[in-house]
Structure 1
Amino acid sequence: MERVRVRNPTSYFTSFVLGALCIGAQPATAQQTLPPELQGGPVSSVPTAVQIARWHVLDGDINTLTFRSMDRLFTTRTVAHSGTPWLLPRVDAPLDFTYSFGGKTYRADEFLERTYTNALLVMKNGKIVSEIYRNNSDENSRFIAWSMTKSITSLLVGCALADGKIKSIEDPITAYLPELKGGGYDGVTIRQILEMRSGVDYEERYDFAHPGVAAYNHINALVKNVVRFADVARTIKRAHAPGSTFQYKTLDTAVLGWLIERVSGTTVAGYTSQKLWEPLGAESDAFYIMDGQPGVGREFSGAGFNATLRDFAKIGQMMLDGGKANGRQVIPAGWVKTSTAASTPADPKAPGMPSGYAMQWWLLDNSGAFTALGLQGQYIYVDPRSRTVVVKISYFPPGGEDAPTAETGAFLHAASAWNPK
Structure 2
Amino acid sequence: MKTLLYIVLVLISFSVTAQKPVVNSAKLEEIKSYLKHFEDNDALLGSVSVFENDKELLNQSFGAIPASRTTKYQVGSISKMFTAVLIGQLVEEHKMDLNEPLATYFPKMPGASSIKLSNLLNHTSGLQNFVVKQDSLKYWLKKPVSQQAILDEIARQGVAFQPGDSISYSNSGYYLLTRILEQKYKKPYETILEERITRPFGLENTFSLNGKTEYEDTAISYEKKDNKWVKLEEFYFPNVQGVGDIISTLSDLNSFMSALFNNEILKEETLKRMLPKDDDWFGLGIMKAPFYNHIAYGHGGDTYGTHTVTSYHPESKLGITYVINGEGYPTNNFAIGLLSIIYDKDYSLPELTEYTPDKLYYDAYTGTYSSPELPIAITVYQKEGALMAQGEGQSPFTLTPKSKHTFAYLKAGIHITFDPDAETFLFKQGGQQFELKKK
Q: Which bin holds the TM-score, normalised by the shorter protein?
A: 0.5 to 0.7
Report how far residue 274 of structure 1 moved.
1.2
Q: Which has the higher helix share?
A: 1
Shift of 1:362: 2.4
- Structure 2 residue 251 is the aligned partner of structure 1 residue 316: no
Equivalence for 1:212? 134
Superposed, 1:5-20 pairs within 5 Å as: none
Secondary structure of 1:287's aligned partner: coil
Question: In structure 2, what residue type is equivalent to 1:382?
Answer: Y
Residue-pair matches, total = 291
Partner of 2:58: 130
Distance 1:222 1:259, change over 3 A: farther
TM-score (ref. length: structure 1): 0.60
Please identify which structure carries the higher strand content: 2
1:359 matched to 2:284: yes
Residue 209 of structure 2 aligns to a residue whose secondary structure is strand
- Evaluate the alpha carbon distance shift between residue 248 and residue 361 of structure 1 in structure 2; reply closer, same or farther with a 3 A threshold: same
| 1-structure distance, mates of 2:319, 2:80 | 18
Deviations 1:296-333 (A, max 9, x none): x7761110001222211211211332x32xxxxx2232
| Correspondence for 2:106 | 177
Establish whether residue 371 from structure 1 lines up as the match of residue 298 from structure 2: yes
Whole-Å Cα distance in 1 between the matches of residues 192 and 202 of structure 2?
15
Change (3 A) 1:318 1:95: same
Letter in 1 for 2:44: Y
Q: Shift in Å at residue 251 of structure 1?
A: 1.1
Of the three residues 361, 377, 394, the one matched with 2:324 is 394
Amino acid at match of 1:306: I
- 2:274 aligns with 339
Letter in 2 for 1:171: E
Q: 1:273 is aligned with what amino acid?
A: E
Check if 1:284 corresponds to 2:205: yes
Inter-partner Cα distance in structure 2 for 1:112 and 1:340: 34
Choose the corresponding residue for 1:223, options 143, 146, 156.
143
Distance 1:413 1:370 in 2: 17
Is this contact kept in 2: 1:185–1:198, CA < 8 A?
no
Gaps of 5+ in 1: 1-56, 59-90, 100-105, 325-329, 346-355
Matched letter for residue 271 of structure 2: V
Gaps of 5+ in 2: 3-22, 214-237, 346-439
Q: CA deviation at 1:96?
A: 4.3
- Superposition deviation, residue 217 in structure 1: 7.3
2:44 aligned residue: 116
SS of the residue aligned with 1:279?
coil
Deviation readout 1:379-408 (Å, 9 max, x if unpaired): 1111112211011121254xx88x421441
Instruction: State the partner residue of 1:239.
Output: 160
Residue 250 to residue 201, structure 1, CA distance change in 2 (3 Å): closer
In the alignment, the residues of structure 1 paired with residue 175 and residue 211 of structure 2 have an alpha-carbon distance, to the nearest angstrom, of 12
The alignment status of 1:145 with 2:75, answered yes or no, reads yes
Does the CA contact (< 8 Å) of 1:120 and 1:392 recur in 2?
Answer: yes
- For the 8 Å contact 2:277–2:283, the answer to whether it is kept is yes
The answer to whether the Cα contact below 8 Å between 2:299 and 2:309 also exists between their aligned partners in 1 is: yes
Q: Equivalences for 1:186-197 in 2 at 5 Å?
A: 186-197=113-124
Query: Are 1:383 and 1:389, in contact at CA under 8 Å, matched by a contact in 2?
Result: yes
> Tell me, what secondary structure is at the counterpart of 2:309?
strand
- Measure the CA separation in 2 of the matches of 1:111 and 1:124: 24
Q: Given the two structures, how large is their TM-score scaled by the length of structure 2?
A: 0.58
Question: Partner of 2:421 in structure 1?
Answer: none
Distance 1:131 1:249 in 2: 32
1:279 is aligned with what amino acid?
Answer: P
Aligned alpha-carbon RMSD (Å): 3.4
- The answer (yes or no) to whether the contact 2:309–2:321 under 8 Å persists in 1 is yes
Q: Give, in whole Å, the separation in 1 of the partners of 2:174 and 2:286.
A: 12
Q: Distance in 1 between matches of 2:249 and 2:24?
A: 19
- Are the structure 2 counterparts of residues 148 and 285 from structure 1 closer, same or farther at C-alpha, using a change threshold of 3 Å? closer
1:175 CA displacement: 1.6
Larger radius of gyration: 1
Q: 1:201 to 1:391 in 2, by over 3 A?
A: closer
**Structural mapping, 1:398-409, within 5 Å:** 403-409=330-336
The match for 1:262 among 183, 189, 203 is 183
How much has 1:371 moved relative to structure 2? 2.1
2:241 — aligned with what? 300
State the 1:377 CA deviation.
Answer: 2.1
**Structure 2 residue matching 1:109: 3-state secondary structure:** helix
Question: Structure 2: how far apart are the matches of 1:309 and 1:107?
Answer: 19
Task: Name the SS for the 2:199 alignment partner.
Answer: helix
d(CA) in 2 for partners of 1:116, 1:342? 35
Structure 1 residues 203, 177: closer, same or farther in 2, change over 3 A?
closer
Give the letter aligned to residue 77 of structure 2.
S
Asked if the contact 1:290–1:298 (Cα under 8 Å) also holds between the matched residues in 2, the reply is no
Structure 1 residue identity aligned to 2:145: N
